[in-house]
Amino acid sequence: MKEKFYIDFDSTLFDSNKYLHELNIICEKYKINKLELDEITNKIFKHHKDFFIDDLLKYLIEEKHIDNNIKEDFKILENTSFLYEDSILFLKNIQNKYNPILLTCGNISNQQKKIDACDIKKYFSNIIITPGNKSTVQEVEYQNSIFLDNNPKEVERFVSVGAKRVIRIKRDTDKYSKIPLKINGIEEYSSLYEVLEGLGIKQDEYLL
């Protein structure tokens, strides 16, 4: 039986910075600057305890009286893949050795839309979306599995619940990349190419 490999989505496979950058561009088109957008998203987050793009669109139209044409721009955003360039190659090359499971947190509908746009479901045996932290999900097998995540708090929690192997990806553009880990026993890499090498999958063995 293949070893279970739980893989994070945002800022691990999916370029969240690029996604938010494109969202900013759309809002600027309708005269909503970044500062104002931040204030609006904070209001939504405070009310829902999460960021939900449908609520943002509703707020912009109903409260800010933005032109309905913004719906088309949001639809394009939601149907665009923002995967990192190394994500698909990584997912292809762990299939033979591991049982990949996507483990992500956030608003279920919002996360599902982003995952669907990336067309990556075929690479996972299961997709788990949780509203809270990832170390308390009942269906996750922590002790006998590998975990890959960018968030320092999450990888530290995985260690605390007895994960077999924990890997942190520290991309240069990630907001968490400068935050040091507080505990030992966590591998760190700057790209998914490096993660593959750390897993013993060499470049000359890649499935392209």
Overall average pLDDT of the 163-185 stretch: 95
Q: Tell me if 30 sits within 8 A of 59, measured CB to CB.
A: no
Overall average pLDDT of the 63-92 stretch: 94
Q: For residues 102 and 115, what is the distance between their CA atoms, to the nearest angstrom?
A: 10
Q: What is the pLDDT of residue 129?
A: 95
Q: For residues 89 and 69, what is the distance between their CA atoms, to the nearest angstrom?
A: 36
- The answer to whether residue 167 scores a pLDDT higher than 90 is yes
pTM of the model: 0.92
- 97: Cα separation from own chain's centroid: 22
Which residue, 180, 203, 179, is CA-closest to 192? 203
pLDDT (tens digit per residue) in 113-161: 999 999 999 999 999 999 888 998 999 999 999 999 999 999 999 999 9
Q: Tell me if 101 sits within 8 A of 128, measured CB to CB.
A: yes
pLDDT (tens digit per residue) in 4-27: 999 999 999 999 999 999 999 999
Q: For residues 208 and 205, what is the distance between their CA atoms, to the nearest angstrom?
A: 9
- The answer to whether residue 50 scores a pLDDT higher than 80 is no
Q: For residues 48 and 95, what is the distance between their CA atoms, to the nearest angstrom?
A: 36
- The answer to whether residue 48 scores a pLDDT higher than 70 is no
Distance linking the first and last C-alpha atoms of the chain = 25
pLDDT-based confidence at residue 205 (cuts at 50, 70, 90): confident
